[in-house]
Structure 1
Amino acid sequence: MTEYRAVFDARIQFVNGGGLTAEGFRLDVPSADVDERTVGELLVRHLGLALVESVELTGFELVEEAHTGSRGMVASAPAPDGPRYIDLSHTIVDGLLTMPGMPVPRISPHLTREASRSVYAAGTEFAIPRIDMVANTGTYLDTPFHRYADGHDLAGLALERIVSVRAELVRLVDSSTRGIPAEVFYDRDVTGAAVLLHTGWDRHFGTPAYSASAPFLTEAGARYLVEHGVGLVGIDSINIDDMSPESGGARPAHTLLLAAGTPIVEHLTGLAGVPPRGAAFTAVPPRVEDFGTFPVRAFATIG
């Protein structure tokens, strides 16, 4: 479904004096045929303002652009034919490059269909493949054991932390900085939520550009999410932490989130199709003992 946003400058006056001005403001709108008055009302709701006397918009235009979650918008009703699912996982194939420097997965047959014919009854055949890979392959989930020796592993991961978790998607594709600050979460109810960071960096997956100047969650951003009881954090980038040489190998986001028992899902894809609010997130790995990380089939449910 095509989504639209309004772009404008604004001047707001209050009945009890004072005012606010904004330049180049971008706001989600329900359709392409809204007028300036409607957008003015949406702006007041989005900012949570009271005692407004007047709203004046200038330089007004509508652009075709994905919503970022402006408050005051009425959520669309679920589709009458039931829920819709959006796959957020990369496909694992033989030789897939996920992290530079890590072994790529190798998929080979353990038992071919041809060879199985001599094992089973006439007309019956099976294929049993095998895969050799590191845990950090494709779209995967981190548990505390990935970072801390005494943290719980995949076998200790509670299903309620990773199944049908209320999603708060934060759209950051137009961000001018690599580091995602705490401030972008101020207008979101992150408590118990799966906070999904849509940077658009998944467009580089499998290429050298994927690891160069990639977006990441700052230490302040991670601390804010932990302090406000976030349920899970996912990102469509190579790492939730800064992997550049300037980081010196520090991993504050992993350190803070996993210390709090918060699962992390990295290398997501397809987040452009997820609304800012109103979806549920699921990412389930197998129940493996003494593993802190493993690939998942991550998906969003809408409706």
Structure 2
Amino acid sequence: MPDYRAHFDFQLSFANGGELAGTGFRLDLPSPDLDVDVIGRLLVQHLGLALVDEVELRGLRIVEEPHRGSRGVPVVQAPGARVVDLSHTIRAGLATYPGLPAPTITPHLTREDSRARYAPGTEFAMDVIHMIGNTGTYLDSPFHRYAEGPDLAGLDLSTLVGLRAEVFHLEDAWTPERRGIRAETLLDRDVRGSAVLLHTGWDRWFGRPEYGVGAPFLTEEGVRHLIEAGAVLVGIDSLNIDDTESGGERPAHSLLLDAGIHVVEHLTNLGAVPPSGARFTAAPPAVEGFGTFPVRAFAEVPA
């Protein structure tokens, strides 16, 4: 079923004095046939305001548009679930990050050679893949940043599987001039114990030269907010969770991994996941002495 949002300007007054105004505001709607009074109440609920006296909406338009996670509009839960793949496909020669080696895939045992080893009609292929851990969609463990941090084999599976997903759809929340995702953009939801997934839309350039320049990222203030808010995992569909064009500092990696919060980079297809209500999984193999490895990241979305 399609999603609907209201576009409008508003003017609020409070019973104990004062006013609040907004222009070009957008609000998720549970259905498209709501009157102006109901939409006004949803606005107050979304903003979390108390002692509101009067609400005036101007220029109201209702359009078919994906939900972005407005408070007061519950996620519809239906029996069953569909699985949304959030991982890029790994193939020989794939360019994930500028300057890092691409994977190579070579045969160890070809099907033709295996026929001499097995019974007639039985054959196998065994191949060798050579790749850096930072390939495709991958997870960073604390060991990636800190020598004494847990490696891939030391991660608690309960922090990687079936996490409540809070997806922030941010395609229109950053610009080439202001690429950083700020804390203020992430304040409207409770993310404690959840996987926070940042949908920037940058994955559309994955595998192309454009992917490596001008990518959005999470600001240090945004990182500190998510740590204090109790997130378990933070993922992004961009080149890096840090700003790779500002020098060698990596505050997002440093702070998140120091706090034991997993980082998943190079996600894709986050636009197919609702703001709330899905479950997220991204589990790497248990490799000792290794900090980063590709994952098959996916979301289980209520049908």
Give the TM bin, normalised by the shorter chain. Answer: over 0.9
Gaps of 5+ in 1: none
**Partner letter of residue 145 of structure 1?**
F
SS of aligned partner of 2:23: strand
CA distance in 1, matches of 2:33, 2:179: 34
Match of 2:28 in 1: 28
Is the Cα–Cα contact under 8 Å of residues 202 and 237 in structure 2 kept in the other structure?
yes
Aligned mate of 2:169, from 168, 171, 179 = 171
Q: Deviations over 1:184-242 (max 9, x none)?
A: 22222122111100101000101111111100011111111112221000000010000
Match of 1:228 in 2: 229
Aligned mate of 1:159, from 151, 157, 160 = 157
**Partner letter of residue 295 of structure 1?**
P
Gaps of 5+ in 2: none
- Relative to the length of structure 1, the TM-score reads 0.95
CA distance in 1, matches of 2:111, 2:32: 55
**Partner letter of residue 189 of structure 2?**
R
Residues 125-274 of structure 1: pairs in structure 2 closer than 5 A = 125-175=123-173, 176=175, 177-244=178-245, 247-274=246-273
Percent identical across equivalent pairs? 63
**Partner letter of residue 173 of structure 1?**
E
Match of 1:121 in 2: 119
SS of aligned partner of 1:220: helix
Match of 1:292 in 2: 291
SS of aligned partner of 1:297: coil
CA distance in 1, matches of 2:160, 2:291: 15
Give 1:158 shift.
0.5
Is the Cα–Cα contact under 8 Å of residues 42 and 72 in structure 2 kept in the other structure?
yes
Match of 2:276 in 1: 277
CA distance in 2, matches of 1:30, 1:95: 45
CA distance in 1, matches of 2:102, 2:294: 13
Q: Deviations over 1:119-141 (max 9, x none)?
A: 10011111112211110000000
CA distance in 2, matches of 1:89, 1:2: 25
CA distance in 2, matches of 1:101, 1:184: 32
Match of 1:112 in 2: 110
Give 1:264 shift.
0.2
**Partner letter of residue 29 of structure 2?**
V
Aligned pairs, how many?
299
CA distance in 2, matches of 1:200, 1:33: 30
**Partner letter of residue 112 of structure 1?**
T
Match of 1:77 in 2: 77
Give 1:88 shift.
0.4
- Relative to the length of structure 2, the TM-score reads 0.95
